[in-house]
Chain A
C-alpha cells in the first residue's frame, strides 16, 4: 500500500475518533453507578453495569416519550401527504405559475423560526389549541411542508410523464392518476420524506419549548433539558436520558441511513 493511501486511512480513523468519542462517553457514563461517576475517571469502563441511571431517567422522560410519538407520527403523516400532493401538482400538472408557487412554499425552508414564534403562540391560543397536543401536530405539519414538497417535487421530476399520458388515455381523472399511478411509484420518495420528517420533528426543541406548556404534551427533548436542570451533575442519569431520547432517531438512521442522506441532499443540493 502506498504511503499516501496509509495517510488517508490514518486521517479517516482520526476523524472517526472525533465523531465517535462523545458517543463512547454517552454510553459508558450511562451504565455507571452514581458513586462511580465521582470516584473513577470518566474514561474508564464501568466496573459493573448499573442500570439505576436508566431507571431514574426513564421515570422522568416516559411521559415525554409518549407525547413525542403522539405528535410526531400524525405530523409526519400529514406533512408527507401534503408534500406529495403539492409535489405532484407542481411537476405533473404544470399549471400557470407553478414555479412561483414552488418558490412561495420553498421560502419556508430557510425561515428563522424566531420570526413566527410570537404569532404562533397567539394563534394557537385563539384556536384554543394552546396546551393541546394538536398545537404541536399542526405546527410541525405546517413547517414541514416546504421540505416535503421539495423532496417530492424532485422525486416526481424523475417519474416519466408518459405514465401520466397513459393514464389519461385510459380515461383516468387527475385524482385517479394521483392515487393509482403516482402513489404506487412514489414509495422511495415517501420513505425519504418520512424518515427526514420523523428525525426533524422528534429532535425539535424550539417548538416544544414554546408550545409544550404542560407536562402532558411536552416533548421528550424539552423534558431531557428539564432533567438536566433538576439532576445537576448526576451524569449517569443524564447520559442515560440523552441516550434514550436519541434512540428512536439513531435506530432509524442506522437502519435507513441511505434514505436519510437522500432527504438531507434532497433539501440541499437541488434548489
Chain B
C-alpha cells in the first residue's frame, strides 16, 4: 500500500475498528449465543442447535403475542405517521404564513425523549383525572382505563407513537415536495390536472424517494419499539402491548435466559434486514451514480 492510500485509510481506520467491534463482532457474538444452551446465570457455550428458535416459534405463547402485537402496531403506526406526515407537508407547502412556526410545533416531539413523552401520555390516559378521561366524561361518554385495557392499550400506544414521529415524516415529505420543479406542477395544471388527480398522477409519484425513506425508517422503528412501551405499560396488561424488543430485554437481563434473549434479538435483526438491505442497495446505487 502506498503512503497516500495509507494516510487516507488512517482517517477512517478508528471508525472502521470501532464499528467492526460494536456492530459486526457483537452481532456475530449474539448469533453464536443464540445457538447455545446459555439459559442460565453462568455462561454455557454448549451447542443447542436451533432449539432456542424452535421453542420461540412453537410453544412460546408470549413470543407469539409479541409478533401479533408488533405486526398489529406496525401498519397502523407506519401508515398513520406517513399519511399524516404527507398531509401536513402538503398543507405546509401551499405557501402558508407562519410556516416555520407550524413546522417547529410539529417536530417538537422529536426533540423529546420517549421516556418523557411516555410519562406525559400515561398522565393523559389516566383513568381518574387524565386529560382524555375528563374530555370523555364532559361529552357523556364512559370512562376508559386506556392503558389497563386489553383492547385499548395498544391503540393508545400507537397514538402516542404517531404523535412522537409524525413531525419526522412531515419533514421528509416537505423536503421531497420542495424538490419538485414548479414547472412540472404548472404544466400538469395546464393539462387540466387539479386536486386529487394532480396529487395521484404527479405529486405522489414525484415524492417516491421520500415515501421509500419514510417507510423504511418507520418500519425499522416499529420492529425495535421498546422505550415507549417500557415506560407506558411494560408490555402489559397481560402482554397486550408486549413486543419482541421488550421480551428480549426481560429474557436476557431479568430472567438470565441469555440464549433465548439472543434468539429473539436475532429474529428482530433479521426482520429489520428484510427492509434495510434493499434500501441500502438502492442508496448505494444512488451513491455510485452521484460520484
Q: Which residues of A contact B (CB under 8 A)?
A: 5, 8-9, 11-12, 15-16, 18-23, 25-26, 29, 37-38, 41-43, 82-83, 85-86, 88-90, 93-96, 99, 101-108, 110-123, 139, 141-143, 145-146, 149, 157, 173-175, 178, 199, 202-206, 209-210, 221-222, 224-225, 228, 233, 235, 238-239, 241-242, 245-246, 249-250, 252-254, 257, 260-261, 264-265, 268-269, 271
The secondary structure that dominates the B interface is helix
Q: Which B residues touch A253, using CB under 8 A? A: 107-108, 111
Q: Which B residues touch A22, using CB under 8 A? A: 117, 120-121, 124, 163
The reply on B258 being an interface residue by CB < 8 A is yes
Q: Is the CB of A15 within 8 A of B29?
A: no
One of B111, B123, B276 near A235 (C-beta < 8 A)? B123
Q: Is the CB of A19 within 8 A of B109?
A: yes
Number of interface residues of B (CB under 8 A): 101
Within 8 A of A (CB), among B224-264: 224, 226-227, 230-231, 244-245, 248-249, 252-253, 258, 261-262, 264
In the complex, per-residue mask of B1-45: 1 if CB is within 8 Å of any chain A CB, else 0: 000110111111011101101110111011001000000000000
Q: Is the CB of B279 within 8 A of A42?
A: no
Q: Which B residues touch A114, using CB under 8 A? A: 224, 226, 244-245, 248-249, 264-265, 268-269
Given contacts A22-B163, A118-B262, A224-B116, contact A268 B279 (CB under 8 A): no
State the CA gap A141–B18 with chains docked (Å): 9
In the complex, per-residue mask of B129-171: 1 if CB is within 8 Å of any chain A CB, else 0: 1110010000000000000000000000000000100111001
The secondary structure that dominates the A interface is helix
In the complex, the chain A residue whose C-beta lies closest to that of B248 is A114
Which A-B residue pairs are the 5 nearest by beta carbons? A271-B283, A89-B11, A203-B113, A253-B111, A93-B8
State the CA gap A105–B172 with chains docked (Å): 23
Closest CB of chain A to B282's CB: distance in Å? 7
Q: Is the CB of B172 within 8 A of A269?
A: yes
The reply on B110 being an interface residue by CB < 8 A is yes
State the CA gap A67–B126 with chains docked (Å): 31
Q: Is the CB of B111 within 8 A of A252?
A: yes
State the CA gap A85–B18 with chains docked (Å): 14
One of A19, A83, A99, A199 near B106 (C-beta < 8 A)? A19
Q: Is the CB of B105 within 8 A of A107?
A: no
